[in-house]
Amino acid sequence: MTKTIFALATPDSVSAIGIIRISGPKTFNALSIICDCDLSSFIKKREFSLKKIYSHDKKLLDEALIVCFEQNKSFTSEKMAEIHIHGSLIVIKTVLDTLGKISFLRQALPGEFTQRALKNNKLTLTQVEGLADLMNAETEYQQKQALDIYTGSSNKKVQEWKKIVIKLLSIIEANIDFYDEVDDFELIKNINKTILILEKDLLKEKKAFSFSESIRSGFTVAIVGKPNSGKSTLINKLAKRSVAITSKLSGTTRDIIELRYNLDGIPIVFLDTAGIRKSKNKIEKIGIQNTLKRANKANLRIILSDTKSDLSSLGLSKSPSDIILRPKGDLKGPEPSISGKTGKGIEELLYLIKEKLAKSTPQSSVINRTRHLKRVNVCLDYINNVKEFISDNEIELELIANELRGIIMNFDGILGLVDTERVLGEIFSNFCIGK
- Check whether 182 has a pLDDT greater than 60: no
Kindly report which listed range (107-111, 351-355, 360-364) carries the lowest average pLDDT score.
360-364
Q: How confident is the model at residue 406 (pLDDT cuts 50, 70, 90)?
A: very high
Q: Is the Cβ–Cβ distance between 74 and 64 less than 8 Å? A: no
In CATH, 219-360 is 3.40.50.300: yes
Q: Tell me the range of 142-146, 185-189, 354-358, 406-410 where mean pLDDT is highest.
A: 406-410
* Per-residue confidence (pLDDT) for residue 177, from 0 to 100: 66
Encode burial over 344-379: b for 16+ CB neighbours within 10 A, e otherwise: bbbeebbebbeebbeeebeebbbbbbebbbebbeeb
* pLDDT score, position 425: 58
The predicted model gives 303-328 an average pLDDT of: 76
| For range 80-100, the mean pLDDT | 96
DSSP H helices, 298-341, are none
Average pLDDT, stretch 251-279?
77
Give yes or no for residue 356 having a pLDDT over 80: yes
pLDDT band, residue 433 (cuts 50/70/90): low
Q: What is the pLDDT of residue 309?
A: 57
Q: Is the pLDDT of residue 262 over 60?
A: yes
Q: How large is the angle between the packed helices 140-150 and 184-217, nearest 10 degrees?
A: 140
CATH number of the domain at 140-215+369-428, out of 3.60.15.10, 3.10.180.10, 3.40.50.300, 1.20.120.430?
1.20.120.430
* Between residues 196 and 334, the one the model is more confident about: 196
Residue 104's CB: how many other CB atoms inside 10 A? 13
**Torsion of Cα atoms, 322 then 263 then 131 then 125, to 10°:** -10
Q: Which amino acid is located at 175 in the chain?
A: N
At residue 105, the pLDDT reads 96
What is residue 5's predicted lDDT score, i.e. its pLDDT? 97
Sign of CA dihedral 163, 164, 167, 170: negative
Is the predicted pLDDT of residue 295 greater than 90, yes or no?
Answer: no
- According to the model, what pLDDT value does residue 136 have? 86
Nearest partner of 70 among 37, 28, 120, judged by Cα: 28
Rounded to the nearest 10 degrees, the angle between the axes of helix 153-176 and helix 125-136 is 160
When mean pLDDT is compared across 167-181, 257-271, 369-383, the lowest value belongs to: 167-181
Q: For residues 395-400, give the mean pLDDT.
A: 86
Nearest alpha-carbon partner for 56 in 95, 26, 82? 95
Higher-pLDDT residue of 93 and 413 is 93
The confidence score (pLDDT) of residue 366 equals 76
Residue 286 neighbours by CB distance under 10 Å? 14
In which band, very low, low, confident or very high, does the pLDDT at 391 lie, cut at 50, 70 and 90?
Answer: confident
Tell me, yes or no, if the pTM score tops 0.75.
no
Report helix, strand or coil for 18.
strand
- Rounded to an integer, the average pLDDT of 391-417 is 87
Question: Which residues lie closer than 8 Å to 9 by C-beta, 6 or more apart?
Answer: 19, 20, 21, 82, 432, 434, 435
In the chain, what percentage of residues exceed pLDDT 70? 84
Segment 165-194 mean pLDDT: 79
Residue-wise DSSP of 257-300: EEEEEEETTEEEEEEE-PPPS----HHHHHHHHHHHHHHHHSSE
pLDDT score of 247: 46
What number is the average pLDDT over the span 330-336?
Answer: 87
Handedness of CA 106, 112, 116, 119 (dihedral sign): negative
Report d(CA 407, CA 198) in Å as an integer.
Answer: 11
Q: Where in the chain is the domain with CATH 3.30.1360.120?
A: 4-108
Q: Above pLDDT 90, what percent of the chain? A: 38
Q: pLDDT-derived band of residue 252, with 50, 70 and 90 as boundaries?
A: very low
Confidence grade of residue 251 (pLDDT, cut at 50, 70, 90): very low
Instruction: Give me the mean pLDDT over the 321-329 stretch.
Output: 88
Amino acid identity of 418? V
Angstrom distance (rounded) from CA 17 to CA 170: 56
First-last CA distance in the chain: 21
| Mean pLDDT value across residues 100-109 | 94
Identity of the residue numbered 299: N
Which pLDDT score, from 0 to 100, does residue 275 have? 67
205-237 pLDDT tens trace:
888 888 888 888 889 998 888 887 888 888 888
CA-to-CA distance for 403 and 181, rounded, in angstroms? 23
Residues 78, 71: Cα–Cα separation, whole Å: 4
Mean pLDDT (the chain) is: 84
- Read out DSSP for 30-66? HHHHHHTS--HHHHTTT--EEEEEE-TTS-EEEEEEE
- pLDDT, tens only, 116-135: 998 898 888 888 888 888 88
Which alpha helices (H) appear in 45-124, and where do they start and end?
A: 89-100, 112-119
User: Phi, psi (5° rounding) for residue 60?
Assistant: -65, 125
pLDDT on residue 429: 58
CB 232 within 8 A of CB 246: yes
The amino acid occupying position 308 is: K
Give the class (CATH, top level) of 4-108: alpha beta
Residue 49's Cβ-side half-sphere holds a number of Cα atoms within 13 Å equal to: 20
Q: Which residues are 84's β-sheet partners?
A: 19, 65
What are the tens digits of pLDDT across the range 56-73? 999 999 999 999 999 999
More confident position, 95 or 252 = 95
| pLDDT tens column, 275-289 | 666 666 666 666 777
- Report the pLDDT averaged over residues 332-349: 90
Indicate whether 347 pLDDT > 90. yes
pLDDT value of position 379: 96
